[in-house]
Structure 1
């Protein structure tokens, strides 16, 4: 592609008051309105001093921040993207970044919990109005994980030198909900200081995530998946109280190691990964992974009997290529393996349970997605302001995911960056006629059918209950 004119043949001027750069915010925020984001915020968030010199209430500020994040803002100053061109004609109560920053800095721990309640009920409404979680009445997975987010500035509250040497971080905890046919949604989030242990507050957090999943329509089998840092009696007890199953990686502690080494060779089942590498000479897939299960294994045996848990131990082993096997005249004698055990009480067959547990890695995609969007920065020096920012990101993420589910089957599983590029960041010119507003969008926009499907659906009168 080449520029079709000479440098002298073109000029530019920012002078059109009828243009907007994010026309997709019209259907997206209409969906938020239908699902009661402003109403829920007004009911739940009772923030002292929420009305400042601008006269704006908490609901106007929350919706402004969520809209800015949906448009791609990753900082408080970036929220100014909402104030350009014809945006004032399409949206009311848009607040300035300085007002929104003051609002966030007014948060305390209690106010952050109020915002969590809004997030939880907003997810429930999104799931009721859109096909967010297909198949949730049969099976749903709740994935719990933590991440470290690097921050800068020694005055930032809660930032500490934690896992990574010489790097100051905050340590968010998050839980997602997905089904075998859907992308993950954000169930709940918590902001923690940088040195917080991975499992700190995990039992209570797990209970909240499982309750949120049920409220969002996951009334069938619920399976909690987590890494080894969440392998503790409290997390499993929370699953049992909520009537959910668990699938949690456990480390190779002495008791697990003895159980794994006692598995007979005949019990191991070969598995082949879909992305296994073909051998250049034979063409066969190179995959040395094998799976075996121990039907009855008791965890936490040193605790009192009421806290001990008996369930299945499933182990996957792969060749340790970093440690060559012992080789003699008759070929390989003692292959070296790396073992990956996990503890579960879900009823699926061994190979299916192992495959579903491995899919827990989908939560890492959500974390990567967040750091490419609104969590590229934790913008405030105040800890609770960053905690509120984290929760608002979760709401914006779920809102975009719901919009994608209404737009098309492709967008239902697209990343949030793709949803912004295809559905939100669409330029348009605003025309007025007979007290009606018309958005004129680019001709031959590649995703115009999906955009119009979303637009028509959210502007259609709601169906009778």
Structure 2
């Protein structure tokens, strides 16, 4: 692109009171209101303030800022420009919202957790956020991530397993083959906290939320997790809640002994990254192989607490530099094993291995959050940052739903938060008022005009009449 005018012929002035920079906040906040976000926050939060709570409006404000791209308290000024005051009743100052979050206690954060779960349930009534065909499993993925922080005034900050100083966020997501992940449960923990601490509580809450969404497929959901969560508390909670598990195991002596019993003719070649397909036979040529063997987890515990299942093992040649100089007499493999309670009739060995590797989808959720509101944890108060995490989860679930409504059969239905923000939210508009109606004049030839129009029309449609 080239400039059409000379530099001296172009000027800039911040003088138009009728412009807004993120018109897409309007339909998504309508979606949030239809899901009951403000009413639920107003009725369930008991956060004390000096001038009245107004919890519903003060929860909607940071969520709106996060939708517009805010990743700190100061960024809430994104809501205080141009014609935003004509669109919304309350556009709070960042200092007011910061004071509101700092008054949260752990009990208030749990109240906000309840609000987030009910908002997700109401969103699933507006759009099939978790879409699953009959007989398809819903995948529930559990994982934690370290959010890096700086300075010495962050409560709870510490050096965790990654060696980075920060706070630990534990998330549980739900996804299917045709729907992007949404977050069922969340918890902010101290940075030095071990991954499995509190995981059983999150698993129980997440599976309860999934049941309330009404997603019925006829099969049990599948909990996927890495080896940090291989413990009786987490796995037992999932099974008691009606789910199957697929959890990576640690290479302890019992697991190594079990792997050694697998015969050589039981290994099956699988499609794996960098594998090559033989054009003649159609087989995959690689060194990745899988096999399975019956396995009883937690055999050291009493009989009622043992879990029967199967151990699926994937082996890959251990190609270290010394083997290139002096080949070994026998092949040396690296083994990766996971424990699953799914049946062989439901998932054979190859399908079970491929399904378990899909657990990596939770890393996309971590990246989405860290590319947005979790780029920073804005407060020095731990409970304020915990509330900030819950609000970020609400904002992510709202963007997922908005993308699905706007473009159900297209790319936006599974797009990242950054893509939805760029195409549907960061749309500049000029406000015009006539006959007590406000019209948003949007850019002509906007590439995603049809998707925005669909989202706007659905979220501004009158609610259906109440049934008797």
TM-score class normalised by the smaller sequence:
over 0.9
Say which of 316, 319, 322 aligns to 2:320.
Answer: 322
Whole-Å separation in 1 of the counterparts to 2:412 and 2:195:
33
Q: Could you list the runs of 5+ residues in structure 1 that have no partner in the other structure?
A: none
Give CA deviations for 1:59-100 in whole Å, capped at 9, x if unaligned. Answer: 101000101001100000001101111111111122111100
Q: Which residue of 1 aligns with 2:57?
A: 60
- Give TM-score scaled by structure 2 length: 0.93
Q: Which residue of 2 aligns with 1:419?
A: 420
Whole-Å separation in 2 of the counterparts to 1:378 and 1:194:
13
Q: Which residue of 2 aligns with 1:451?
A: 452
Whole-Å separation in 1 of the counterparts to 2:460 and 2:102:
35
Deviation (angstroms), 1:170:
0.7
Deviation (angstroms), 1:379:
0.6
What is the SS of the residue equivalent to 1:92? coil
Q: Which residue of 2 aligns with 1:248?
A: 247
Q: Could you list the runs of 5+ residues in structure 2 that have no partner in the other structure?
A: none
Q: Which residue of 2 aligns with 1:23?
A: 23
Q: Which residue of 2 aligns with 1:392?
A: 391
Whole-Å separation in 2 of the counterparts to 1:334 and 1:147:
39
Task: Say if 2:111 is the partner of 1:114.
Answer: yes
Whole-Å separation in 1 of the counterparts to 2:269 and 2:79:
55
What is the SS of the residue equivalent to 2:180? coil
Deviation (angstroms), 1:46:
1.1
Q: Which residue of 2 aligns with 1:219?
A: 216
Whole-Å separation in 2 of the counterparts to 1:388 and 1:254:
42
RMSD: 2.0
Deviation (angstroms), 1:152:
1.1
Give CA deviations for 1:268-304 in whole Å, capped at 9, x if unaligned. Answer: 111113664789xxx997632111111x211111111
- Counting matched residue pairs gives 455
Aligned partners of 1:136 and 1:179 also within 8 Å:
no
Aligned partners of 1:136 and 1:217 also within 8 Å:
no
Give CA deviations for 1:210-263 in whole Å, capped at 9, x if unaligned. Answer: 111111223332110000000001111101211111000001111111111221
Whole-Å separation in 2 of the counterparts to 1:164 and 1:184:
24
Deviation (angstroms), 1:452:
0.6
Aligned partners of 2:47 and 2:53 also within 8 Å:
no
Whole-Å separation in 1 of the counterparts to 2:284 and 2:74:
51
What is the SS of the residue equivalent to 1:243? coil
What is the SS of the residue equivalent to 1:184? strand
Whole-Å separation in 1 of the counterparts to 2:318 and 2:206:
36
Whole-Å separation in 1 of the counterparts to 2:273 and 2:315:
17
Residues 275, 9 of structure 1: CA spacing in aligned structure 2 closer, same or farther, 3 A cutoff? farther
Q: Which residue of 1 aligns with 2:228?
A: 229
Residues 101, 180 of structure 1: CA spacing in aligned structure 2 closer, same or farther, 3 A cutoff? same
Aligned partners of 1:293 and 1:313 also within 8 Å:
yes
Whole-Å separation in 1 of the counterparts to 2:258 and 2:162:
33
- Give TM-score scaled by structure 1 length: 0.94
Residues 20, 118 of structure 1: CA spacing in aligned structure 2 closer, same or farther, 3 A cutoff? same
Q: Which residue of 1 aligns with 2:5?
A: 5
Counting only pairs closer than 5 Å after superposition, residues 62-461 of structure 1 correspond to structure 2 as 62-135=59-132, 138-165=136-163, 167-220=164-217, 221-273=220-272, 276=275, 287-294=286-293, 296-322=294-320, 325=323, 333-347=329-343, 348-408=347-407, 409-461=410-462
Aligned partners of 1:324 and 1:336 also within 8 Å:
no
What is the SS of the residue equivalent to 1:171? strand
What is the SS of the residue equivalent to 1:144? strand
